[in-house]
Amino acid sequence: MLALKRLKANLVKWLEISVRRHHLDQALCQLSPHMRGRVVEVGGGRIAHRGGFRPPTPMAAHGNNESPCWLTVDIAPDRSPHLQADAQSLPFASASFDMCVALEMLEYVPIPSKALEEFHRILRPGGVLILSVPFMHRQDAANDLWRWTSAGITRLVVDAGFAVEKMETQAAAFGVAANILKYTVVISSPGMTKHILAILFMPLAALLWSLDRHVTACLPVLGYFTTGTLLIARK
């Protein structure tokens, strides 16, 4: 019975977190010790967190708290953000934050350059932007509008006035294949069928994931296939 419970828990975790999100969580956990001061997460909320990463800084008690904290802003109220606002017109004074975190949200913004200009405006001199965007990843919704190569998002961020300090891609060719396989199981299969298919396909996905790490080291060209990019830039 205990083994079955563990299997079910592993299946649920495997189904809920994409290959892309797993890579993103790993990178964010490494960055976590550096997430200090007054932080604003645009496209985030206080509930229904995606993936396994959790803010290392205490959540703000309310929207106008000036002490070190983690403040969330989203255009939609679903995830209970501290403030409901459009990323293209943020309700903050210039130079208000030490860090701006924008994860998996820029693709939903009608004019991404406006949002990046706002991120730049609200950051203090020397402030840091942590941004992740998709590339070879499924369209999640009707308002999922954009995809970027690493070069494309770098150019957009630089044009907004930032200096890029670090950029890393999230998975390569085999990781993209594993991500597609996982979403095929998640989207196309109802109920118990989904869990049966997950049991069948988890080993194949794990093999693809392993190949992604090792084969890409030998064949760097496979790195041009990626689920997305994580970028760190400074004002």
Tens of pLDDT along the chain (235 residues) come to 555 566 556 555 656 677 788 888 888 889 888 888 999 999 988 776 677 788 887 776 555 555 668 999 999 988 889 999 999 999 999 999 999 999 999 999 999 999 999 999 999 999 999 999 999 988 888 999 999 999 999 999 999 999 999 999 988 898 888 888 887 777 666 666 776 777 777 777 778 878 887 888 788 888 889 999 999 999 9
137 shares a domain with 95: yes
Identify the pLDDT of residue 230. Answer: 96
Identify the pLDDT of residue 7. Answer: 52
Q: For the chain, what is the domain count?
A: 2
161 shares a domain with 89: yes
Identify the pLDDT of residue 67. Answer: 63
For the chain, where are the E strands, in sequence order? Answer: 38-42, 69-74, 83-84, 97-103, 123-134, 163-169, 228-234
Identify the pLDDT of residue 130. Answer: 97
CA distance 114 to 31: 26
230 shares a domain with 209: no
Identify the pLDDT of residue 62. Answer: 52
76 shares a domain with 109: yes
pTM of the predicted structure, to 2 decimals: 0.87
Identify the pLDDT of residue 211. Answer: 83
194 shares a domain with 104: no
118 shares a domain with 48: yes
115 shares a domain with 61: yes
Identify the pLDDT of residue 5. Answer: 61
Identify the pLDDT of residue 12. Answer: 58
CA distance 208 to 98: 39
160 shares a domain with 81: yes
The CATH number for 101's domain is 3.40.50.150
204 shares a domain with 114: no
Q: Tell me the residue range of the domain where 162 lies.
A: 18-172+223-234
79 shares a domain with 41: yes
180 shares a domain with 137: no
Identify the pLDDT of residue 231. Answer: 96
For 26-122, where are the E strands, in sequence order? Answer: 38-42, 69-74, 83-84, 97-103
22 shares a domain with 131: yes
